[in-house]
Amino acid sequence: MPKHIAIVPAAGSGARFGAEVPKQYLQIDGKPLIYYALSALCACPAISCVWVVLSPEDAHWTSFDWGCLGDKLRVAYVGGETRADSVLGGLTAAATEAAGDDWVLVHDAARPCLPAALLQRLIDELAGDAVGGILALPVADTLKRADAEGRIRATEPRDGLWQAQTPQMFRFALLREALTQASGVTDEAGAVEAMGLRPRLVRGDSTNLKVTFPADLALAGKILAEVTK
Ligand code: CTP
Ligand code: MG
C-alpha cells in the first residue's frame, strides 16, 4: 500500500500580509498560524509523516515547542525563492523515506482551518486515481476583468471555473518530475497540468481559507474558535 506524506511549504515572507514576522508565525489563540495546518495533518491517521519546509534563514520556528504534534513531524530548512522551489526542496528531503508511488499532500502553512473530514475525503476520492488532484471550490461570484484605470472592461463567464485550495495530492515521483520541469507555476497542479495531465477537482469548503491579508487572520480565528467550542 502506498504511504501518504504531507509537505507544508512555510518559507514565504507574507509580503501581502505586511506584518513584522512572516504570517505563518502570527498567533491565533496563543499558537502560531502554522500550528493549525500541521496539527490537522499530524492528526490524520492515513498520513505517516509531515515535512515542514522552512527558509534557511528562518528565525522563528525554534521559539515554539512542537512536541505536542507527536513524532510525525520532520523539519527541513530548504525553502527556496518560489513556492515550487520550497516544495521541491521538501520532496528531496523526504526522498529517503518515500517510494515513487507514495502519495504526497502539499498543504499551505497559511491554511489553518482544514477540516479532518475534508482531508479524509480528498484521500479517499483520489485513492484509485491515476493522476491525483486538489481540493477546490466552484467560483461563486460574477467575474469582472479590469482595465488599466480600474474600470470594468468585461464580464467573464464563470462556468467551469474553480478556485484552487490545498491540500494538493499527487504521487511522489510524478510531482517531483513535474516540479523539476515546470517554470512559473503557482501550485502543484499547475506543474502536473504542464505535463499534459488532468488532475481531479475534489470539492473543498469555504472554511479552508488561506490567510493572505489581515482580515483573513481574524476570520480564521473565528472559524477555529467555532470548531473547538
Ligand atoms: N511559500 C514557500 N516558499 C516560498 C513562497 C511561499 O514555502 N518561496 C509558502 C508560504 O509560506 C505559504 C504557501 O507557500 O505557506 C502559500 O504561499 P502564500 O500564501 O503566497 O504565502 P507568502 O508567499 O508568504 O505570501 P505573499 O505571497 O503575500 O508574500
Ligand atoms: Mg506568495
pLDDT one digit per residue (tens) for the chain, 229 residues = 899 999 999 999 999 999 999 999 999 999 999 999 999 999 999 999 999 999 999 999 999 999 999 999 999 999 999 999 999 999 999 999 899 999 999 999 999 999 999 999 999 999 999 999 999 999 999 999 999 999 999 999 999 999 999 999 999 999 999 999 998 999 999 999 999 999 999 999 999 999 999 999 999 999 999 987 7
Residue closest by Cα to atom 17 of ligand 1 = 12
Torsion of CA 153, 161, 199, 91, to 10 degrees: 60
Cα 5 from chain centroid (whole Å): 13
> Would you state the pLDDT for residue 67?
94
Q: How far is the CA of 172 from the centre of ligand 2 (A)?
A: 23
Give the ligand whose atoms come closest to the C-alpha of residue 164.
Answer: 1
Tally Cβ neighbours within 10 Å of residue 62.
Answer: 10
Pocket of ligand 1 (CB under 6 A): 9-17, 24, 53, 79-83, 86, 108-110, 210, 212
Cell numbers for 197: 495531465
> Would you state the pLDDT for residue 227?
85
> Would you state the pLDDT for residue 187?
97
> What is the rounded CA–CA span in Å between residue 29 and residue 132?
34
> Would you state the pLDDT for residue 228?
74
Give the ligand whose atoms come closest to the C-alpha of residue 54.
Answer: 1
Cell numbers for 82: 518560489
Tell the CATH topology of 4-227. Spore Coat Polysaccharide Biosynthesis Protein SpsA; Chain A (3.90.550)
Give the ligand whose atoms come closest to the C-alpha of residue 167.
Answer: 1
Predicted model pTM: 0.97
Question: Does residue 47 sit in helix, strand or coil?
Answer: strand
Q: How far is the CA of 109 from the centre of ligand 2 (A)?
A: 11
Alpha helices by DSSP H, the chain: 33-42, 83-94, 116-126, 172-181, 188-193, 214-227
Per domain, the residue ranges of the chain are: 4-227
Atom of ligand 1 nearest to the CA of 111: 15
**DSSP strands (E only) in 68-118:** 73-76, 103-106
Q: Tell which one of 75, 83, 179, 209 to mutate to probe ligand 1, the residue whose CB is within 8 A of the most ligand atoms.
A: 83
